[in-house]
């Protein structure tokens, strides 16, 4: 499973990228707001650090304007994935932009039917939002499983990019189901390394080592 990092914070992206943990980046208008930076400038900087797909989201609501914004965002770098909302206009824009050979990430997906439409419109990535379904008491992981089944039934090549990931359990469940990619905030990715038994085991080893009175260096 590929790891995308869901942020526009340069330091966090660079730290994870240096460890080989970043296969791509996703941003959205809320994350651009949080960064306090200009979208073109910050996205260009992200693309200079990360070689994998970097999603940049359009903000227009109508297809023609989405297409124009998407083309402008794609000028930033070769690894831009144009992020479009899963609306009828977004699907029209997806069909056009993917037909031009551009990477497209269709976002705000909340049903397997929506994911089916995005695949038929040529999306490179479909972004089902797990956490936001959990927020309304619907199991977001069921959606990942449903999309996996539908895509496998018909051999669609659109990548399932599990999004709105809030916990380490989400990451593990996505990997078990077979999501192609997951995008998570840097904090969640770092938390994947932690386990209480690792901490407890290390503490005991350090106590016993101190009693030996030895040094390795």
Contacts to ligand E4P by CB under 6 A: 6, 26, 28, 107, 127, 129, 131-132, 163-164, 183
> Is the Cβ of residue 29 or residue 201 nearer to ligand E4P in the bound state?
29
Rounded to the nearest whole angstrom, what is the least distance from the CB of residue 163 to ligand E4P in the complex? 4
- The reply to whether 83 belongs to the active site is yes
Nearest C-alpha neighbor of 81 from the set 115, 58, 111: 58
Rounded to the nearest whole angstrom, what is the least distance from the CB of residue 29 to ligand E4P in the complex? 9
Q: How far apart are CA 15 and CA 17, in angstroms?
A: 5
Q: Which of 2, 34, 83, 190 is flagged as catalytic?
A: 83
> Is the Cβ of residue 96 or residue 164 nearer to ligand E4P in the bound state?
164
Q: How far apart are CA 205 and CA 71, in angstroms?
A: 56
**Residue 203, exposed/middle/buried by CB under 10 A (0-12, 13-18, 19+)?**
exposed
Query: Which is it for strands 181-184 and 2-6: parallel, antiparallel or unpaired?
Result: parallel
Rounded to the nearest whole angstrom, what is the least distance from the CB of residue 206 to ligand E4P in the complex? 36
φ and ψ of 110, to 5 deg: -130, 10
> Is the Cβ of residue 28 or residue 159 nearer to ligand E4P in the bound state?
28
Q: Which sequence positions are flagged as catalytic?
A: 83
């Amino acid at each position: 499973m590929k790891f995308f990092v869901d942020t526009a914070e340069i330091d966090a992206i660079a730290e994870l990228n240096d460890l080989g943990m970043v296969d791509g980046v996703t941003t959205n208008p809320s994350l651009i707001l949080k960064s306090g930076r200009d979208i073109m400038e910050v996205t260009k900087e992200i693309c200079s650090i990360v070689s994998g797909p970097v999603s940049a989201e359009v903000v227009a609501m109508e297809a023609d304007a989405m297409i124009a914004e998407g083309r402008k965002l794609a000028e930033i770098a070769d690894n831009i994935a144009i992020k479009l909302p899963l609306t009828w206009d977004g699907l029209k824009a997806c069909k056009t932009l993917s037909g031009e050979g551009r990477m497209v990430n269709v976002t705000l997906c909340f049903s397997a039917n929506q994911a089916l439409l995005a695949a038929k419109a040529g999306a490179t990535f479909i972004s089902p939002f797990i956490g936001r379904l959990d927020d309304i008491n619907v199991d977001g992981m069921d959606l990942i499983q449903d999309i996996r089944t539908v895509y496998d039934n018909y051999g669609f090549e659109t990548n399932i990019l599990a999004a709105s990931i809030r916990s380490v359990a989400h990451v593990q469940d996505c990997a078990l189901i077979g999501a192609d990619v997951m995008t998570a905030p840097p904090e969640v990715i770092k938390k994947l390394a932690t386990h209480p038994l690792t901490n407890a085991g290390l503490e005991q080893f350090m106590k016993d080592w101190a009693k030996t009175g030895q040094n390795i260096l």
